[in-house]
Amino acid sequence: MFTSVDDVSARLAETGYLPSPAVATTVFLADRLGKPLLVEGPAGVGKTELAKAVAEVAGARLVRLQCYEGVDESRALYEWNHAKQLLRISAGRDESWDETRTDIFSEEFLLTRPLLTAIRGDDPKVLLIDETDKADVEVEGLLLEVLSDFQVTVPELGTITATRRPFVVLTSNASRELSEALRRRCLFLHIGFPDEELERRIVRLKVPGLDEALARSVVRVVGALRAMDLRKVPSVAETIDWARTLLALGAGTLDETVVRASLGVLLKHQEDVLKASAKLDLDAL
């Protein structure tokens, strides 16, 4: 997929994703070694967007498993179309049970979910297992089976093995610790908040109408907010939203009135807004 680390950087940048050297290197190694990539970091720093960007540059289909508390095998792997099976049983009353059973547990009645979809077929795929830390611990056992050998056993059909392995990205906000067994099977990448220069480049790329001076001011203010003891600091996504807000307001510079009026774009809790309003010193930035 990629020929070098520089190739990763250049091709991801073409999609609008600006990777740091660490991100580009780890993506290259995950591709070259055929290992799943576990990406941890706070919300809104581009973990999910990384998987989307890789899929775009590879011309691959993005298959996404969105994890949540209660997700199980039937939502992650496969289940049988019970309604269709009942219709088939009703329509075949004159057939023997052996004939009917063979029919209703065939491909026609199988509903594939993201994990099984990702390992079937010869087309290139990127499997995104998003917010893995939100899934129950039991689901990790299922992931281990799939990610170890890229095969799935369906008792009625046998073992299905990938003919072409997908590029796998697991994301986590670290709300709970993932098992060491799962971590061992992955290359690890932590994506934190970008440095000031990289975030400025991201803002300029995503909000091209914003001038250079205002982009720098936006990034400095966001950096100052992240240094405060807030309940939730602004993410990169919120930095971009704020830049778009300022553009929509026609703000040429940042002054106290504009910042106070638009803090709700960056901060999502009233206590944070009050603290930022009291402590933020624009003249010092």
Task: Show which of 147, 173, 190 is a domain's final residue.
Answer: 190
- Is the confidence at residue 101, as pLDDT, over 80? no
- So what's the pLDDT on residue 262? 95
Same domain for 142 and 14:
yes
- So what's the pLDDT on residue 106? 82
Same domain for 262 and 145:
no
Mean pLDDT, residues 195-219: 96
- Is the confidence at residue 23, as pLDDT, over 80? yes
- Is the confidence at residue 267, as pLDDT, over 90? yes
Q: Which of 184, 212, 191, 192 is nearest to 200 (CA)?
A: 212
Same domain for 263 and 158:
no
Task: Show which of 138, 157, 190 is a domain's final residue.
Answer: 190
The pLDDT tens digits for 115-169 are 999 999 899 999 999 999 999 888 888 899 899 889 988 888 889 999 999 999 9
The pLDDT tens digits for 221-230 are 999 999 999 9
- So what's the pLDDT on residue 18? 96
Same domain for 164 and 32:
yes
φ and ψ at 55, to 5 degrees? -60, -40
- Is the confidence at residue 28, as pLDDT, over 90? yes
- So what's the pLDDT on residue 84? 86
Mean pLDDT, residues 59-74: 95
Q: Which residues pair with 160 in a beta bridge?
A: 152
Mean pLDDT, residues 57-61: 96
- So what's the pLDDT on residue 96? 63
Same domain for 215 and 137:
no
Same domain for 220 and 180:
no
Domain span at 262 = 196-284
In this predicted model, which residue has the larger pLDDT, 201 or 83? 201
Cα distances (angstroms) measured from residue 148 to each of 36, 107, 186? 10, 24, 10
Mean pLDDT, residues 173-195: 95
φ and ψ at 211, to 5 degrees? -75, 165
Same domain for 155 and 37:
yes
pLDDT band at 105 (very low <50, low <70, confident <90, very high): confident
Rounded-to-integer distance, Cα 86 and Cα 79, Å = 14
The CATH number assigned to the domain holding 122 equals 3.40.50.300
How does the average pLDDT of the chain come out, rounded? 92
Report how far Cα 259 is from the mean position of its chain's Cα atoms: 30
**In the block, which residue shows the tokens 């830390």?**
133
C-alpha torsion 124→130→133→134, nearest 10: -130
Mean pLDDT, residues 92-110: 72
Task: Show which of 166, 190, 214 is a domain's final residue.
Answer: 190
Rounded-to-integer distance, Cα 276 and Cα 47, Å = 27
Same domain for 154 and 279:
no
Same domain for 44 and 128:
yes
Cα distances (angstroms) measured from residue 144 to each of 58, 101, 136? 25, 30, 13
- Is the confidence at residue 97, as pLDDT, over 60? no
- So what's the pLDDT on residue 202? 96
Q: Which of 178, 280, 171 is nearest to 230 (CA)?
A: 280
φ and ψ at 61, to 5 degrees? -80, 130
Q: Would the pTM of this model clear 0.85, i.e. be above it?
A: yes
Same domain for 51 and 31:
yes
- So what's the pLDDT on residue 94? 64
The pLDDT tens digits for 6-21 are 999 999 999 999 999 9
Same domain for 209 and 132:
no
How many structural domains is the chain composed of?
Answer: 3
Same domain for 128 and 145:
yes
Rounded-to-integer distance, Cα 218 and Cα 88, Å = 62
- So what's the pLDDT on residue 61? 97
